[in-house]
Amino acid sequence: MKKVNTPNKTIGEIVAEDYRTAQVFEKYGIDFCCGGKEDLATTSRDKNIDLSVITAELEEVQKEPRERSQDYDSWELPFLSDYIVTVHHSYLNDNIEQIGTYANKIAEVHGSSHPEVIEIASLFKKLGSDLESHLRDEEEEFFPALKRVYAQKKAGQTSAEEDTAIIRKSLENFKDEHEEVGDALHKIRHLSKDFDIPANVCNTYVITYEKLKEFEDDIHKHVHLENNILFPKAMKLCE
């Protein structure tokens, strides 16, 4: 077993090396995607978590050998980018509009007694619009440029300056965009009291909160794969 959970490693590095550790961080409410730059020791101290306890739990989930399908850090960049589009972009494209419709519906029906759902609907509307633009930028510019530079580097050729410029500029923009997404998700979770479903609400209310939780889970993994694995490797291509 590869020991990754040393106190001086960042949360993002630990999850990048073994995604199974994410379940431990989620249990303790530790952000491993947008907020994954703090090291394990600092995060444990800030969260008032016994370092030896969380280290033991991380080791427990790492006992079994990993399947190749979970070793995202070993994947070549073109394959990883295709995976992100096929799995995570497809999920967002299939669900943003539906969740937005549900959120608006419960805001109309339950907004007078649960005013937080009005703000949740507003936050999600902007979040959905921002993500749709973000996905287009990745699929139409960033990923194609990344694949071209990767192929050129592998062939020992000089990369086109236009492509490396696209990668650098995209990485600057995406970092800020991911932080905005993370902030919006934190606000939605806070407003919903960790997606706690009130008594005597309709089925649409229940489904909306369940879908928002599912949406958050998918975004966490999506952003982790980019922030902690794909983006650092993309930056190295441009060096």
pLDDT of 5 over the 50 cut: yes
Question: Which token pair is 190?
Answer: 């806070």
Residue 23 has pLDDT above 80, yes or no: yes
Residues 6+ apart with CB under 8 A from 99: 124, 128, 208, 211, 212, 215
pLDDT at 66: 66
> In whole angstroms, how far apart are CA 120 and each of 8, 74, 169, 174, 207?
37, 38, 31, 23, 14
For the four alpha carbons of 224, 225, 227 and 232, in that order, the dihedral sign comes to positive
CB atoms inside a 10 Å sphere around CB 158: 8
Q: How far apart are CA 111 and CA 213, in angstroms?
A: 20
Q: Which two tokens stand for residue 189?
A: 């979770």
* 103, two tokens: 């959120």
Measured between alpha carbons, how far is 115 from 121 in angstroms, rounded to an integer?
Answer: 10
Rounded distance, CA 111 to CA 121, Å? 10
Cβ of 174: how many Cβ atoms within 10 Å?
A: 20
Length of the chain: 239
Which pLDDT score, from 0 to 100, does residue 130 have? 96
Average pLDDT, the chain: 91
Which tokens is 228 given? 């902690």
Which tens digit of pLDDT belongs to each residue from 73-87? 889 999 999 999 999
Q: Over 90: is that where the pLDDT of 47 sits? A: no
Residue 1 pLDDT class (50, 70, 90 cuts): very low
Checking if the pLDDT of 4 tops 70, the result is: no
Distance between CA atoms of residues 185 and 212, nearest Å: 9
Residue 151 has pLDDT above 90, yes or no: yes
State pLDDT tens for residues 185-227. Answer: 999 999 999 999 999 899 999 999 999 999 999 999 999 999 9
